[in-house]
Structure 1
């Protein structure tokens, strides 16, 4: 039987890592897919291995737990009701989350399903006579390692299994680290370099191995007072980063925000990404998550607005303000803000010319004027002007984003907090809001330079080498005036630089832990418990394993 999609039995056989209730899929075999060529069968087995990546990187799964748990993002009860969700976003930010958090559960389910699909592909592909099988096998095995790498980072466990009917072995700590590392190293020789950022390539594995070695000290001793960064690990970080940089295959983008445009699949800065092209039915929702309910990005879609979700914290904003004072960071660093609309307070604009400002949005917002469900027209064009909170039944209150945001009544209103529009809205989407087609970065070249800089600092305090790498990234953004070169470098400055370059790209929690800052205080967060460095294993998974006492043990502190 040539299985095209993973069966419910195979999902369950990962062994109680999740409830099978939500994971039923159709199984296509030779009988139900008569006429498939070997190539179609091979393609049909590797596609499901990648298929849940868009779900993992949704705004309410991996993004929520990697960003809202940090100093970069906060999501209060908007207006006292919106985004309440039984307090899960408040708890995530304050580090009071529990094992019943649905976003943690969903992320766990998706990652373990990714492992299950990879195992099925690993077992089925060898039965297919197609020239791509060798590469696809390496990709499936590498993706199994990647999903386990995320489980290790988030929940402190990995699952080892080759036979779909076997019971997974659970590894933690150094054993888990060594397993993921060995799997990535094993597949690297069989991977290609030319299949694009949406599939696992040699460059992608080099980037993941660099990241794994950089965080190895954390994974070996999660609750350490001080992490021990071994010189051999830092040498490996430099080695793998060198491979990527010296390959000549990747290039830092002149225009920072083009890395996140809806046509970014061909952007040479992307090394590994979630392929979200419209023809693949992507559903990147990161664009609308932070915007006002009265911001409409696309003239073609009168229902595609923001949702007044998370904003950046005042603490994170202050890192920008302090770094560039007395200059406004918007004029000092093109990564902070890109102005696409230069308009008077009340203008007319052709649909093709309308393009929202990008980056960190502050103050009075301008955009398409919507009345009674339709955009106001001026001939063939569209009226653009000051926005008001019409959809919040406050038609005289301007959409004016303020820096202050917290969990008080005043601090959680619809205008509070500076917002982020980093990923571009899709102009090809069937809804304008969902189904975005901007690929979501997992590893990109700027991060590689910054990882190499950090390894140089941690191994030998090579401040000059680290400074050169950081300034290479800063100097590359030449579409407008790049940020000024830095004159010194240390770990605190490097963490700040990672925050400037990689904000809202779902690396912040991992960074703060590695830099020893995750127990710090920031907006509405005072918890300093090191046990919160990993999340609780979802209670549904613990309950599902109850027939095997001692098999799936909850993380300490939960």
Structure 2
């Protein structure tokens, strides 16, 4: 068992309000109480313990698709298993790239594999809706925790102080959702707790305006978030806000048209010099079932916590990633699981980023090759493409996790190693406050843990950094964003098998660097304008 906060997050059975601002984005996503165990906000917050439970709902929403796990979904039109935030984000960031391919033929998945998606793709609709649902929950939490509301309820000074931190975490999680919306969809509405509850058409904002809003929020949160590593494991602190700032600054040229590499270095320095530390443990420990206690947690700035007993969601989060990556002749028990779904493998071009296929020259190359072909002739056959064994539901000492149907393994959304690589990249992109020798030291520290050969300054190029980010951070929901920043996601400068729907890969249209606003969303809010290139 991990922390009590996780149990609060899962067993919470309520939804805030009747018709929150999400209804203004799409009319079929109304949020309403579903049974007698769920309460309206004003009634719910009469209990002092409810404030932490309300915050826990936000964290739980990163893993589960509904209040009972996979069952009754938060979002209409897509199942609770398919609409898990982490599962959808993984699909967008990985299936669309050289790092992963999925064999299933569910409507919308082949289009992600091939970069041929349309405006009616159900997984795009799912992530757009999930992110705005998350924003709606955060907004309502902020409405219900104002000084005026707390005074009306007679909340004491000690709890009020704690709620100040809760509010900062809710704002961060809202900013995180806006970051994903900005990254994927570009121009999106900005809705805050100051907007009315109920149906209205929110104004669509330019991507640069969304960037400025996120930047402003993250800077302001430095005053109210918990100090670095002073919060419960799994909850946000000041360093997480600095990390997300570093991410948006590194991608600022894409999002706003203006490079901010100096700002990226400054934010990376804040992260690197924080209370988090590089995990001096074997690389595999970072993705084991006990990665919250085996030393890996020292570099986990923002983990999505999982627990086989507490979080009973079979189709979401790490349960999806682990189950779906097991198939063929693989022994599910070796991965600590009860079986596999024969879904996700990787593509040849990603395997070729490593010195070999058996993790000899780089322990991060964790491929399962028995009965698998390197080339993918048939996307629908799990045996085509090497399987990946990066994540396991086995403790680092080899002992069993709590159970084998739902894993304990936490997902590392932000970790310190990424800040090292962001620092190196921003330095190579010309940051005046970056130091190439410092950058080289960071990269070689990562490579030493991987038992990979050290590099020299002449090796440290932008192309090397892109490849090293893949080797260090694959299947951690970064690849699509990275490839776009390097201008290698669409077009022909980087090809991989089945890009464009052709086995050997082909060029795709540059407008696909931004996903389309889902057609269902535009039908519900006709003031929204579709992104260029999509009908």
TM-score category, normalised to shorter length: 0.7 to 0.9
Q: Match for residue 174 of structure 2?
A: 144
C-alpha contact 2:102 2:344 (8 A) present in aligned 1: yes
Deviation at 1:252, TM superposition (A): 2.5
- The structure-2 alpha-carbon separation of the partners of 1:553 and 1:268, relative to structure 1 and needing over 3 Å to count, comes to same
C-alpha contact 1:360 1:418 (8 A) present in aligned 2: yes
Counterpart pick for 1:418 among 362, 374, 386: 386
Secondary structure of the corresponding residue to residue 288 of structure 1: helix
Q: How does 1:190-201 map to 2 (within 5 A)?
A: 190-192=224-226, 193=228, 194-201=230-237
Counterpart pick for 2:222 among 166, 188, 208: 188
- Is 2:519 the counterpart of 1:539? yes
- Is 2:486 the counterpart of 1:451? no
Please give the per-residue CA displacement for 1:144-182, whole angstroms capped at 9, x wherever unaligned: 111111100011125232235254332222211101100
TM-score computed with the length of structure 1 as normaliser: 0.77
CA distance in 2, matches of 1:504, 1:161: 31
Deviation at 1:23, TM superposition (A): 6.6
CA distance in 2, matches of 1:187, 1:514: 26
- Is 2:16 the counterpart of 1:6? yes
Q: Match for residue 122 of structure 1?
A: 142
Q: Match for residue 271 of structure 1?
A: 301
Counterpart pick for 1:154 among 156, 164, 184: 184
Q: Match for residue 402 of structure 1?
A: 373
Q: Match for residue 75 of structure 2?
A: none
CA distance in 2, matches of 1:64, 1:241: 27
CA distance in 2, matches of 1:16, 1:319: 42
- Is 2:110 the counterpart of 1:95? no
Counterpart pick for 2:368 among 356, 361, 366: 361
CA distance in 2, matches of 1:16, 1:148: 14
Please give the per-residue CA displacement for 1:35-73, whole angstroms capped at 9, x wherever unaligned: x642x0211221222221114766741111110100111
Q: Match for residue 497 of structure 2?
A: 523
Q: Match for residue 110 of structure 1?
A: 130
Secondary structure of the corresponding residue to residue 442 of structure 1: strand
CA distance in 2, matches of 1:23, 1:438: 32
Secondary structure of the corresponding residue to residue 120 of structure 1: helix
Gaps of 5+ in 2: 1-12, 65-82, 395-399, 500-505
After the TM superposition, which of the residue ranges 454-463 and 303-312 deviates more from structure 2? Answer: 454-463
- The structure-2 alpha-carbon separation of the partners of 1:25 and 1:451, relative to structure 1 and needing over 3 Å to count, comes to farther
- Is 2:351 the counterpart of 1:335? no
C-alpha contact 1:177 1:220 (8 A) present in aligned 2: yes
Q: How does 1:118-267 map to 2 (within 5 A)?
A: 118-126=138-146, 127-128=149-150, 129=155, 130=159, 131-156=161-186, 157-163=188-194, 165=196, 167=200, 168-192=202-226, 193=228, 194-221=230-257, 230=259, 233-266=260-293, 267=297
Deviation at 1:7, TM superposition (A): 2.2
CA distance in 1, matches of 2:364, 2:136: 38
Deviation at 1:134, TM superposition (A): 0.6
Secondary structure of the corresponding residue to residue 414 of structure 2: strand
CA distance in 2, matches of 1:57, 1:521: 30
C-alpha contact 1:293 1:307 (8 A) present in aligned 2: no
Secondary structure of the corresponding residue to residue 301 of structure 2: strand
Deviation at 1:137, TM superposition (A): 1.0
Pairwise CA RMSD = 2.7
C-alpha contact 1:49 1:118 (8 A) present in aligned 2: yes
- The structure-2 alpha-carbon separation of the partners of 1:148 and 1:249, relative to structure 1 and needing over 3 Å to count, comes to same
- Is 2:332 the counterpart of 1:297? yes
Gaps of 5+ in 1: 77-82, 222-227, 337-358, 364-399
Please give the per-residue CA displacement for 1:349-399, whole angstroms capped at 9, x wherever unaligned: xxxxxxxxxx32112xxxxxxxxxxxxxxxxxxxxxxxxxxxxxxxxxxxx
C-alpha contact 2:62 2:86 (8 A) present in aligned 1: no
Counterpart pick for 1:473 among 436, 440, 446: 446
Please give the per-residue CA displacement for 1:523-549, whole angstroms capped at 9, x wherever unaligned: 111243111011111111111113xxx
CA distance in 2, matches of 1:330, 1:428: 24
CA distance in 2, matches of 1:288, 1:294: 14
Please give the per-residue CA displacement for 1:464-512, whole angstroms capped at 9, x wherever unaligned: 44322211211245xxxx2110122000001010010011111000000
- The structure-2 alpha-carbon separation of the partners of 1:32 and 1:142, relative to structure 1 and needing over 3 Å to count, comes to closer
Deviation at 1:293, TM superposition (A): 5.4
- The structure-2 alpha-carbon separation of the partners of 1:91 and 1:305, relative to structure 1 and needing over 3 Å to count, comes to same
C-alpha contact 2:303 2:414 (8 A) present in aligned 1: yes
Secondary structure of the corresponding residue to residue 278 of structure 1: coil
Deviation at 1:282, TM superposition (A): 5.9
CA distance in 1, matches of 2:94, 2:468: 16
CA distance in 2, matches of 1:139, 1:132: 11
Please give the per-residue CA displacement for 1:268-292, whole angstroms capped at 9, x wherever unaligned: 1100111213354164221121211
- Is 2:90 the counterpart of 1:63? yes
C-alpha contact 1:93 1:524 (8 A) present in aligned 2: yes
Aligned residues: 460
- Is 2:454 the counterpart of 1:485? yes
CA distance in 2, matches of 1:540, 1:458: 39
C-alpha contact 2:25 2:524 (8 A) present in aligned 1: yes
Q: How does 1:9-24 map to 2 (within 5 A)?
A: 9-13=19-23, 15-17=24-26, 19-20=28-29
Secondary structure of the corresponding residue to residue 468 of structure 1: helix
C-alpha contact 1:475 1:483 (8 A) present in aligned 2: yes
CA distance in 2, matches of 1:496, 1:254: 22
CA distance in 1, matches of 2:369, 2:335: 25
C-alpha contact 1:238 1:456 (8 A) present in aligned 2: yes
